[in-house]
Structure formats: C-alpha cells, structure tokens
Homo-oligomer: A and B are copies of this chain.
Amino acid sequence: MEEWLILLDKTHALPLYEQIYMQMKRDITEQRVPVGKRLPSKRKLSEFLAVSQTTIELAYGQLTAEGYITAVPRSGYYVQDIEELAYTEPAAYTETTRPAPLKAEIDFSPGMVDPESFPFSRWRKVAKDVIDEQDAHLLQLGDPHGDLELRTEIATYLYHSRGVRCTPEQLIVGSGTEQLIPLIIRILGEDAVYAVEDPGYPLAHHVFDHNRRSAVAIPVDEEGLDTDALQRSQATVAYVTPSHQFPTGTVLSAARRAALLNWSAARPEHIIIEDDYDGEFRYAGRPIPALQGMDRGDNVIYLSTFSKSLMPSLRIAYMVLPKPLLERYRGAFIHYASTVPRLDQHMLARFMKEGQFSRHLNRMRKLYRKKLQLLMEQLTPYAPAVSCSGDGAGMHIIITVQDGRSETTLAEAALQAGVRVYGLDSYRSEPADGNPSFLLGFGGLTEGQIIEGVRKLMTAWGMKKRNSAE
C-alpha cells in the first residue's frame, strides 16, 4: 500500500471519491505507477483510507469508465497502458471582447426596423400562451419544413396580401435568406448558373460564391433588372428582387416582369428566385403582386422573411417551392431538422392567426410612409445637387449626389460628422462611373434623427439649400 500515496482532506468541498479519483488519475497519467499494476481491493483501500466502500467504488468506477484502469473479473483492478499525456487543468478563462466598430451617432442602415412601435405586450402575451405545460410536445423536434400551424398562416397571408398561390405543403420555414438559399442551390444542381442583380444584395451573392456556383452580374436600370441582358447571358437561374430592387429601390416594370416570366417559361431549367424581402411596404396604391402569382408554370421560387415586417432578430424566413422542386427537396433533405425554434414558430403563428400581424403591418406601413415623407422633405431643398430615387416602397431610398468628390470621400466625411450612409459601389460588381449614390435606410431612425441626420449630412458635404439665405 505504501507505494500509492493518497491524501484525503475530509473538510474539503470536493467529495472524497473525487479526491481519490483525481490523485489516482494523476499518478497514472504521470506514470508514477507501473502499467499492469494491480490496485488495492476496494475493501482494503476503504479500510486503509477509513472511507466507505461505496466511495472507493465510485472512484474506481470513474477511473474504469475513463479507461485509466481496467477490471478483470474475479481478480481485481489493473492500471491500463495509456499513452503519455500531460493532462492540463483548464486555466481560468479571461474575457476579452472584440473592439466595437466605430459607431455613428445616426446610422442610415437599411437593415433596421422601428424599435418603438413593436407590440411588446402582444408578443409577451403570445409567449405566455405558447410556453405552457399543455404544449409540452413543442419541446421535441417538429416538422422539418416548419410546423403546419405556421405554414398555414403564412400561406393564407401570402395569398391575400402578395397574390402568391401556394399550399402550406409548398412552404419551407427557415432561419433567413442565407440559410434558405443554400438549400435552393443544392436542389437546383451543380450546372445552374445564377444571374444576380448588379447592384444587388451582397449576402445572396456571397452564398452563391461560398457554394461555388457560377454567378453572372446583370445590370439594373430604372426599370429594374435588364431582362435583355439576362436573355443574352448564360444564366439559368435569376435571383431577383422585383418588388423593390435591393439596393436601388426600383420596382420591376410590368414589361420586364413579363419578359422575365417568359424567359423562365422558355426553358425547363430556367428558374426565378423571387426575393420579396420588403414587399409588404409599398406606400402608394396597393402592393405589387408577386411574380410567383403571375407564373403560369412552376418556374418561380418565392422567398421572403419576417425581418422587415416584424424584426430582423426573429430569424424567420420562408420559401415557396414549385411542386416539382418540392419533391426534389424532400429527397435531398430527409435528415434535416428545422433550424427555427418551435416555440417561436407557434408564437408567430398565433400572432398571425389573431390578426395581430396584419394590424402591425398596417401600423408600420403608415409609420414608415411618414418617415419616408419626412426624409424626402428634408432632402428636397438640396435638389438638384442631391436627388432621390427608389422611394416607392420599402425602408430605404437612394440619393445621388452631383459632386466632384468620390463616394469614399463623401462617406468618410459623413462618418466624421457622426452619420453613416452606405455607398452604392459596395453593392456593385465594380465601381460605377458618374455621380456617387448612397443608400439611406430610415426604418430604425426616429423623426428627430432623420431631420438631424440630413442636416448633419448636408453640412458635412457642404450642400446648400436651394432657397437658402446662406
């Protein structure tokens, strides 16, 4: 017994079996005891250490489970042959954080919603209703395509407000555009060539790139995607934002819509991915119906999100697959679980079912229209040096500045004055000639911030009001 020194501290918080286990493990890993050595019997060790036999059993059990010792029936426990390994106790972790990016006082980010108008009390209410013992089954995994309750609500909503024709079966609920697009990419095969809008949505383009798919940039003009250029290209799949082109804000014209649908109908491999990211927010007249509803074949994959209509951080998006692709999808993703928390799915379904979502949208449409009008009013006096476009829908506009300075210089000058604007070049395949343009999102700003933001921006850029006395 003398060659195995174990010191127990019975006043220590660590259980006795663990003290024994740790000392034995240390001795074995540091090779202080020879491989093959027989351990003292449980009874003997328990007597020697004056602890219960159960304590020794626990220690030996743990050592056996981790493979430091092995039990030989009717003989005893033996030290195992393990490779040399210095087990280092974990060092206490030290918390470090990344430096935050320079924060502008007023950020015209296109990805923000109005935080003050969110119906927190209603959302708390649906949370309270859904998080309930009676819904205990919602703890387990649900339908990999998203729960039927939510898909049914979305299908009804899409039919009534976006003219999208689909059954709940055709809907796949996911965590965002960047999570859904790779799934689309996989079912469209390796030979697909993607047409992307130029300028366009960089995240989607990154996803094509990351999945090593060919992508061709198709120019966007004041009618939206140049369908003639698409026609001439090698593209087989067109990724488009027809309701409110991102980032230019143009609405795809009826002629172009028809041309696009005819392009997709011309060849079986031609597919349109319609990203309707903010189709809910159109300020004049009724929303423009989705391409999907005008499609006579099975050529349009409709994609949308609750990021703009509810909150970006909810991470719920969805897509409508044409039936032939749905079959392919089921075959390819048979093992995948939905990435969207199930309680959240049911909270959203309930929120929609109770009519809260429509109510919220109607409120937000009015609010964003008001903010948009205010932003335009603030900018008007600076025309024609500063002109606006893309203001028919959504939560951002484009301003074009007649100025000798470059986009970078102007953006930098704005940032120095505490205002962040988003140069259009970063959304383009290559920098454009001509006057620099900027994307101005207004969703997340208060009216005061909009007024102040434009004032600071124009001062920073040295712009004068047309009829200003200055």
Contact = CB atoms under 8 A, between A and B. Distances in A.
Given A179-B179, A337-B178, A159 B92 contact: yes
Interface string A63-97: 00111100000000000111111111111111111
Given A257-B67, A285-B21, A392-B65, A311 B140 contact: yes
Interface stretch (A128-136, A363-371, A450-458): A128-136
Contact of A164 (B61, B90, B96, B344): B90
Contact of A202 (B257, B335, B337): B335
A53 interface: no
B139 A311 contact: yes
A255 B81 contact: yes
Interface string A198-210: 0000110010001
The copy count of this chain in the complex is 2
Interface string A290-317: 0001101000000000000001111110
Contacts of A29: 254
A262 B85 contact: yes
A98 B147 CA distance: 12
Contact of A85 (B83, B139, B223, B261): B261
Interface stretch (A4-12, A112-120, A411-419): A112-120
Q: Which of A89, A169, A175 has the most CB of B within 10 A?
A: A175
Contact of A61 (B166, B284, B311): B284
A93 B286 contact: no
Nearest to A129: B124
6 contacts: A28-B254, A93-B167, A111-B140, A140-B311, A175-B340, A341-B344
Given A29-B254, A140-B313, 19 more contacts: A18-B285, A21-B285, A67-B223, A67-B255, A82-B254, A83-B259, A85-B294, A91-B165, A95-B152, A96-B167, A113-B140, A127-B127, A140-B311, A141-B313, A175-B175, A175-B340, A210-B332, A312-B337, A341-B344
Interface of A: 17-18, 21, 28-29, 58-59, 61-62, 65-68, 80-98, 111-113, 115-116, 118, 120, 123-124, 127-128, 131-133, 136-142, 148, 152, 155-156, 159, 163-169, 175-176, 178-179, 182, 186, 202-203, 206, 210, 223, 251-259, 261-262, 282, 284-286, 288, 293-294, 296, 311-316, 332, 335-344, 392, 444
